[in-house]
Copies of this chain bind each other. A is one copy, B any other.
Amino acid sequence: MNNIKDILKSAPKATQKSYKKGEIIQRAGDFNNSPIYVKKGLLKSYLIDSKGKEHIYMFAPENWIIGDLEAIQYEQPSQLFIECLEDSEVIVFQKDCLFNIELDKEQLAENAQVLYRRIGRLQRRVLMLMGAPAADRYMYFLETYPELPNRVPQKMIASYLGITPQTLSSIRSEISRKK
């Protein structure tokens, strides 16, 4: 995914921070959004919709970057909350960390590839959300985050997949029945 070495060298003014499980790092409405690199631990970002329902946009275990990139790029208040699911150590970047003109060429080229990879993953997710039935979505989650099924509660997985915890439960029992 995102190579730690590449990230670190491309972030001259990044700051290191620690958060405890349960802390909310960024809130919807905040203007002060930054990309966050996870060194250790686990974060999630999520949207609260008009009916008060939570939709998880992504998880960020070790070596992932998380943030409301849409809000950052368009200089709008964040739509997303970012919350700490395990005690975590992170690096908070500057907003423009990935395209700051003070970076050197290698770093900029590297960063463009980091963004490219993220687009690739998002493309895959969009195609998945559009076509795939609930069971296939769960498989997709297992591929994307092989280490997470044991680290996050099922209701969060369901929220990430856009299905209810009940549906996920029945999918899982169906899978284990088939074995």
Contact = CB atoms under 8 A, between A and B. Distances in A.
What secondary structure prevails in chain A residues at the interface with B?
helix
Contact of A112 (B49, B72, B111, B117): B111
Contact of A116 (B69, B103, B110): B69
A73 B113 contact: yes
A135 B117 CA distance: 31
A64 to B, nearest CB: 14
A85 B116 CA distance: 26
B119 A109 contact: no
Interface stretch (A11-19, A93-101, A146-154, A165-173): A93-101
A139 interface: no
A39 interface: no
A126 B119 contact: no
Interface string A33-66: 0000000000000010100010101000000000
A115 interface: yes
Contacts of A118: 119
A77 interface: no
B74 A120 contact: yes
Contacts of A57: 123, 126-127
B129 A116 contact: no
Interface of A: 47, 49, 53, 55, 57, 68-70, 72-74, 79, 98-101, 103-106, 108-113, 115-127, 129-131, 162
